[in-house]
Every structure is written in structure tokens, then in C-alpha cells.
Amino acid sequence: MKSDRLLSVLLLLQTRGTVPAHELAERLEVSVRTIYRDVEALSASGVPVYAERGRHGGIALLPGYRTDVTGLTADESRALFVLAAQGAHAALGLDAAIGSALRKVMAALPAPHRPAAELTSRRVLVDATRWTRGPGDGLPVDHLGTLQDAVFADRRVCVGYVHSGAQDPDEPVTYTLDPYGLVSKAGVWYLVADRDGEPRLFRADRVRSARVLDEPVRRRAGVELADVWAVLKQRVERRTGGIEVTARVRRDRFGRFLRLHGGALTEVVVQDTADTGDRDGGGGGDGVGKGEWVTVRLVCEETRAARVLLAFSDAVEVLSPPEVREELARAAAAVSSLYEGPQ
């Protein structure tokens, strides 16, 4: 409705100051000509709105004019923007309504509270749909406050993290992370962060220590929390229908392994020295177990798809499940038979 659009124009101008006509048109999904007609309508109704020409021009209100609605504290405004975070309204068809409501709330806030409210909407997401229930669900999250401090301070964070299935849960792996924000996924909190420039997902209840560093965060330019979450969420949901494979990779080949198969990984467990005892599904005692290894978990669409790992020869060993080991053994034997005896 035109009345709703006129109010949206007014609230955007009140919140943002001078706004280019084309940006208003994009935000409200109308043409630039329609925006100028709306400006004329606002002016005719007594609203002191005007257009500035030139490179830095746009539509603006006279200084000091505002629709004054007050009373919200800083914490109340942040709470509203967490409640209204993206992700929960699309299924109800309320995306447009929530956008309009947030503009009204933002315009109503006292000016000092606006930056904190806007930052909250960019740094915290609430996603109510569930993946699968794990044994850690419902456990207290001891370091969520520290992770939140890092997110809002735009600082790097050093965490001690225990991966699922780690051999020793009392010895977490230490990572320095560049956080984008926090996501609540059906009651389970996740830290979305870059590790060495690559997007990663960390369950907050597996964080055993957390320390905010003095270094500013190193996020990828132009990338927001919602963008990274969408990619990571898609990865997890795509893997749930495949076969989970546990393998170990020689550390000196791990970089190449990541480049080729990083999209299929669900878990990485760094081990400084490989175990030399029995492994799930069997394993040889031919010296493969010696040296430094990285244990990984990845998902293959089917058993035969795991044959791509044979390209790494003895630098990758599948530990489980047994049917994948058997499939690779058959494939390796078939290749070996081609080269036995004279040509």
C-alpha cells in the first residue's frame, strides 16, 4: 500500500539521513520515479523532505525533524533485534512485514541505541529448525559470553575446541578464529567463523576455553554472517543423506586433500602422532600407521564414490566403515591385476 511505503520512506530517511533515490527504490522494490512521486506526496502533506542534487546527493529530511517515539533502553532494543533476526519469518510469509516493523523500531530508538541494535541484527541469527539431536544438546555453554564479546567487539578469538569423536576430550585443539557471529539452531548455539580464511562451524558447547584477542577480526570483505551461515548450513544438510567415512590423511598431503575434498568434510581431528594399534575395520601393520596424521570425517554419496580417495595412494587410509574399506580393497586389487606380469 502507498501509505505503508510513504511511512517506510519517512522512517528510512529519519534513520539514515540522506539516502540516494535509487537506494530507496531498491529497498522498497519500486522504481526511482515512484520514489520521487512519494517524496512529492510527503512534501505536500507537510513533511519537510527535499532532494539534493550532485554526486553526494539524495533524498533527505530537514535537520531536526523526526517522528518521536521514545522509551526503549539499549538492552530492550537489542533484545527486539535478536527476536526479529533473519531466518524465522520466511516460512510464515512475514519477511516484508518484519522489515517494515524493524524500520519503525529503528526510527523509534534514541539515536545512541541505533548502532548497537543494527549490529545485533547482523551478528546474531536465530534458526528454529532442527538437524539431528546429539548427546551434547542441552548442555551448559560455559564460554558463550566470551564468544559473544568477541563477536560484538570485532576481535579475533582463541578457543580450545573438542571435536566430536576426539580420542581425548580432555585435550582440546587450539584455534585462532575470525568470528562472523553466533547462530542458535533449535536451541544449540554455534559460532560461525573463519579458520585460516575458510568458513567453519563450531558448536559452542564443545568450546573448552575462549579468550578474546587484541587483534581486530579478519573477515572476508563484503561477507556477512547470514552469507556464511547459508553456505555452512547447506553443507551440513547435504551430507546428512550420505555415508559417513572416517579416514586419516598424511599431514604433508593434507593441504591437497582439503583442496580436493574439503567440501565433503564434516569433522577434522588433528593428531600429532598416529595411533599404531588396532583401528576400526582393521588395518595393516606395514608402517602406514607411523608418522603424523590428520583424522577426518567426510560424507560420500555412496560406497563406490569413496574410490576417489585411491588417488592419494598410501597417503590416505579409510578407517571405517568396513564396507568402504572392502570397496577400496577390491578397486585397488583390480588396478594391481592390470600391471601384474609382462605386458
Q: C-alpha grid cell for residue 14?
A: 529519519
Is residue 73 exposed (0-12), middle (13-18) or buried (19+ Cβ within 10 Å)?
exposed
Query: Residues 277-286: pLDDT tens digits?
Result: 434 433 333 3
Q: What is the mean pLDDT of residues 168-172?
A: 74
Q: C-alpha grid cell for residue 270?
A: 588433528
Nearest to 18 by CA among 67, 55, 68: 55
Please, which pLDDT band fits residue 77 given cuts at 50, 70 and 90? low
Q: What is the mean pLDDT of residues 29-39?
A: 87
**Chain-wide mean pLDDT for the chain?**
76
Say if pTM beats, i.e. exceeds, 0.85.
Answer: no
Q: Give the DSSP H or E segment for 119.
A: helix 114-123
